[in-house]
Amino acid sequence: METELAIVGSGPAGLAAAIEAAKTGVKVTIIDENPRPGGQLFKQIHKFFGSEKHKAGIRGIDIGHELLEQCEKLNVQIFLSTEAWAIFDNGKALGLKHGNNTTEKLNTRKLLLASGAIENPLAFPGWTLPGVLGAGATQTLMNLHRVLPGQRVLMVGTGNVGLIVSYQLLQAGADVVAAIDILPQIGGWGVHASKIRRLGIPILTSHTIKEAFGNNEVKGAVIARVGQDNKVIPESERKLEIDTICIAVGLSPMAELAQSAGCQITHIAELGGWTPMHNERMETTINGIYVAGDVCGVEEASTAMEEGKISGIAAAESLGYLQRGKANGLMKESQESLNALRAGPFATQSKLGKEKLIERFHKC
Amino acid sequence: MLNMLRSSGVLSEQELMELPGVPPMELVEKGPVAVIECAEMIPCNPCEACCPTGAIKIGDDINNLPIIDAVKCTGCGLCIAACPGLAIFVVNGTHTKSEALISIPYEFLPLPNVGDQVEALDRQGKKVCMAKIVQIRNSKKFDKTAIVSFTIPKERCMEVRHIRLS
């Protein structure tokens, strides 16, 4: 099988890239291991922040529908339930395994890796009990599969994911007994925190989980206060009767495919860990292999879409479908949107991380 | 600097009154007016874009805090459903002599019915009084964020920000 631009991952970055490239006439093929496209968009039932010009105020699920519809109109080919298990010839071919267990080689002229990120685990006594699960996994169960994993939930972590999933658990009819964070301050945005506080969910900062207990499943948890040294303050333990523990302690880029292809990776804490280096055109250290979205730094869906656009435009230009001047103009527009999205105090870390990443690309 | 909000998720009274989106008390009492409880510089501006009278200003840097012009604001409530942070409320301190009318974003099912008596909750989710549902707006434009309006005793108008169906 042949294509011009192969994209691994059909989340916001992959779809946005596909649209930009396909618009210019590039033949685009998307591969996704999931049975449905959209990445995390279809479980994002909340309205997105951002600029009014860029789909702010629209729910993630509806942005997903919109992007897919555009892909369909532009004849973007999407293989679902298909794994990209290897990258050959410096990104000029992918090894695919389809859902029916057949394998296939996909030859491509350009490759975009938009494989996203994975939830970080948290180890504590009892963490392997059924009933302990990722907040993102909980959101998938609830909002995609319509299964509520439990009735009484402890949320561990108060970043935006922890706060938003707490709110959605209440919308789905569960009780969130508390949202805790080991830090003295809430991780996520104040508006998300305020939203769950007025619903009566306590937020306990400077708190940690000591253990989950139960024989065959979670029956409860022990939480405790921590001091400035992050150590448990004696006799501050408290028992909570719960049946579900959601872990929302951050995400890490899924850089394995890029790494196995030979792209140079680097560790940048501000971006969530190991991530492939890329330049201003989202191209990695291997010519013709691009990255976009959480795979090269955990941020927001809004930034992922802009990075996706840049990579799609860059690929289209290098394939000869876009003139340099036109491509530069389009990329500049997206870069300006990225700058605006990364201008606030909450984006200081990711902005710094991105600058480091691009600097390291040019140094290596 | 927003210590209460950052550590508890609830704005202190002082943090609240210093926000450029929160009109001074005397104008809230003369309402109806939008009370924008948006305290942090996050990149977002649908409130400014949806306002039909230009009463909300953010400007070119979408990280700016929204500024409310209480004189231009008619209290129409379009911004309540437009705010992705569910941080905008409309307070009408002149509803009756003793009652204020509060409009909030509401994303739970079932929706209350007009005439229902429900519990009025403060920013910490604590019941402070009862509320009577007066209006429910749930048009397609609001995209599933219903705007629920209810009456409460006037003196609670800067406390009550949610309801619980009894």
| pLDDT tens digits along A5-21 | 999 999 999 999 999 99
| Cβ separation A191–B85 shorter than 8 A | yes
Please name the residues in contact with A273: beta carbons below 8 A apart, sequence gap of 6 or more. A252, A253, A255, A267
Contacts of A52 in chain B (CB under 8 A): 45-46, 48-49
b/e map B14-28, b = 16+ CB within 10 Å: ebbeebebbbeeebb
HSE-CB at A213 with a 13 A cutoff on CA atoms is 9
| Cβ separation A197–B145 shorter than 8 A | no
Distance from CA of B21 to the nearest CA of A (A): 14
Mean pLDDT on A110-131: 98
Cis peptide before B110 (omega within 30 of 0): yes
| Cβ separation B41–A345 shorter than 8 A | yes
pLDDT at A30 over 80: yes
| Cβ separation B108–A171 shorter than 8 A | yes
CA distance A349 to B6: 17
User: Which residue from B25, B23, B27 is spatially nearest to B56, judged by alpha carbons?
Assistant: B23
Which range (A237-241, A280-284, B60-64) has the least confidence? B60-64
pLDDT at A344 over 90: no
pLDDT at A195 over 90: yes
Task: Indicate yes or no: pTM above 0.90.
Answer: yes
Q: Name the closest residue on chain A to residue B8, using Cα atoms.
A: A203
| Cβ separation B162–A198 shorter than 8 A | yes
Q: Is the CB of residue A349 less than 8 Å away from at least one CB of chain B?
A: no
Contacts of A207 in chain B (CB under 8 A): none
Q: Is the CB of residue B154 less than 8 Å away from at least one CB of chain A?
A: no
pLDDT band at residue A89, thresholds of 50, 70 and 90? very high
pLDDT band at residue A55, thresholds of 50, 70 and 90? confident
Contacts of A199 in chain B (CB under 8 A): 121, 125, 162
pLDDT at B29 over 90: no
User: What pLDDT, in 10s, does the model give residues B72-119?
Assistant: 999 999 999 999 999 999 999 999 999 999 999 999 999 999 999 999
| Cβ separation A51–B126 shorter than 8 A | no
- State the Rg of chain B over Cα: 15
| Cβ separation A200–B45 shorter than 8 A | no
Mean pLDDT on A353-364: 96
**Structure confidence at residue B35 (pLDDT):** 98
* Interface with chain A: mutation pick from B3, B5, B57, B148, highest number of A CBs within 10 Å: B5
* Interface with chain B: mutation pick from A45, A47, A201, A207, highest number of B CBs within 10 Å: A47
Structure tokens at A169: 């658990």
**Structure confidence at residue A61 (pLDDT):** 95
Mean pLDDT on A94-122: 97
Q: Crossing angle, helix A160-171 and helix A135-143, to 10 degrees?
A: 30
**Structure confidence at residue B1 (pLDDT):** 76
**Structure confidence at residue A54 (pLDDT):** 76
Between A3 and A364, residue with greater pLDDT: A3
Please name the residues in contact with B26: beta carbons below 8 A apart, sequence gap of 6 or more. none
Mean pLDDT on A92-113: 97
pLDDT band at residue B3, thresholds of 50, 70 and 90? very high
| Cβ separation A191–B38 shorter than 8 A | yes
Contacts of A193 in chain B (CB under 8 A): 5, 8-9
Question: What mean pLDDT, rounded, does chain A reach?
Answer: 97
Mean pLDDT on B151-158: 96
Q: Is the CB of residue B52 less than 8 Å away from at least one CB of chain A?
A: no
**Chain A stretch 159-178, residues whose beta carbon is closer than 8 A to a beta carbon of chain B:** 170-171
Question: What mean pLDDT, rounded, does chain B reach?
Answer: 96
| Cβ separation B63–A344 shorter than 8 A | yes
Mean pLDDT on A329-357: 95
pLDDT at A53 over 80: no
* Interface with chain A: mutation pick from B16, B44, B79, highest number of A CBs within 10 Å: B44
**Structure confidence at residue B31 (pLDDT):** 81
pLDDT band at residue A90, thresholds of 50, 70 and 90? very high
The pLDDT > 90 percentage for chain A reads: 96
Please name the residues in contact with A269: beta carbons below 8 A apart, sequence gap of 6 or more. A353
Contact between B45 and B58 under an 8 Å Cβ cutoff? The reply is: yes
Matching residue, tokens 């942070």: B85
